Chain A
């Protein structure tokens, strides 16, 4: 919990396309923990990850990655393992060739570890990249990251398109990686179930801004889910209704926890799940 953060963004702004930009994005992941970036498609998760990895330039604020200011020295690539939602490897390569091509880029490449991980992950060294399933391709990229001794793993939407067995395997791999307290993980997702248990920190993103960031339980505790009849949740003063949904039988919204007391006793007030936060914050205009 002491020492430098694995990564920190402070007031980051960046243009991404003609009509979208990140605005004043700030959050921090302490070394040794998992953070989930949660937001709907188009919220800015991938843009944030691209900025963090130096793949996109920022026009405001600063980013710190493993103690270096981004753009970081090239050598820092050795310490960061990136798992994107598509593979950057050539389809015709066999997994043995993947190693031969990548090894020269890394000072600490460990061939024994690569072979061992392929075995653990059930990957055939003679298989070709293009014949791997989504789950196997992801495990290959993790094997590469762990073989070059990455201290930080960054995943972009790792679990979308994975079947439940592969998602569960990923949770196991992340847990194993974090046994070393110098290791950290950042992943973006719109599937909150993966984070419910293993996430230490969460950052909620909406419309290119950070809605809230902090330890998962603190973020959950900052909100309440309220439900009432169709005419409840109207004409309320001093209560922010986030992502209000109303129909003929009832109304539901997310409210800041400290405003829930103003709602009276006609409505049901419950602690939200990460899914509730994602749905209601994502539905906000």
Chain B
């Protein structure tokens, strides 16, 4: 598991851990069943407080990414679980909302936006 913490981005450390581990799971880099270090081993390795790593793992567990085994460690849950799908849907929604906000400021209409989306999907389709 790879976690790189920044002291200067203004994002709380627990949030940085959560985002990076979550991203690694969504990208498949951390596969289902992968064993993660215990909260205490992770705190030692990252040289941060146990409360911080506990909070990151607690939130990852609440969002359905991992399951924790008290006193042992944690492992990655199957990606197709309902909660992770919700996460992905939320990411899609957030991304579309950001695009819509920009389109609104640029004065784009519905047709132009749909055409742009179609164009992007075609481009992705031809690459994959």
A interface with B by C-beta (< 8 Å): 32-34, 171-172, 175-176, 178-181, 197-200, 215-217
Taking a contact as CB atoms closer than 8 A, the residue among B13, B43, B71 that contacts A178 in the complex is B43
With A and B bound together, what is the CA distance between A176 and B38 in angstroms? Answer: 12
Chain B interface mostly: helix
Nearest opposing residue in chain B for A181, CB measure: B40
Which residue, B13, B41, B49, B51, has most C-beta atoms of chain A within 10 A?
Answer: B49
**Minimum distance in angstroms from B86 CB to a CB of chain A:** 27
Return the 8 tightest CB-CB contacts between A and B, nearest first.
A175-B44, A200-B51, A200-B49, A179-B40, A197-B48, A198-B49, A171-B47, A179-B44
Chain B residues with CB below 8 A from A172, complex form: 44, 47
B50 at the interface (CB under 8 A from A): yes
Chain A interface mostly: mixed
Taking a contact as CB atoms closer than 8 A, the residue among A171, A176, A181, A216 that contacts B71 in the complex is A181
Taking a contact as CB atoms closer than 8 A, the residue among B13, B50, B71 that contacts A200 in the complex is B50
B40 near A178: Cβ-Cβ < 8 Å: yes
Which residue, A172, A179, A199, has most C-beta atoms of chain B within 10 A?
Answer: A179
Q: Mark B7-40, 1 if CB is under 8 A from A, else 0.
A: 0000001000000000000000000000000101
**Minimum distance in angstroms from A48 CB to a CB of chain B:** 21
Chain B residues with CB below 8 A from A180, complex form: 40
A175 near B71: Cβ-Cβ < 8 Å: no
17 pairs of residues in contact across A and B, judged by CB atoms under 8 Å: A32-B50, A34-B49, A172-B44, A172-B47, A175-B45, A178-B40, A178-B43, A178-B44, A179-B44, A181-B40, A197-B48, A198-B48, A199-B49, A200-B50, A215-B51, A216-B49, A217-B51
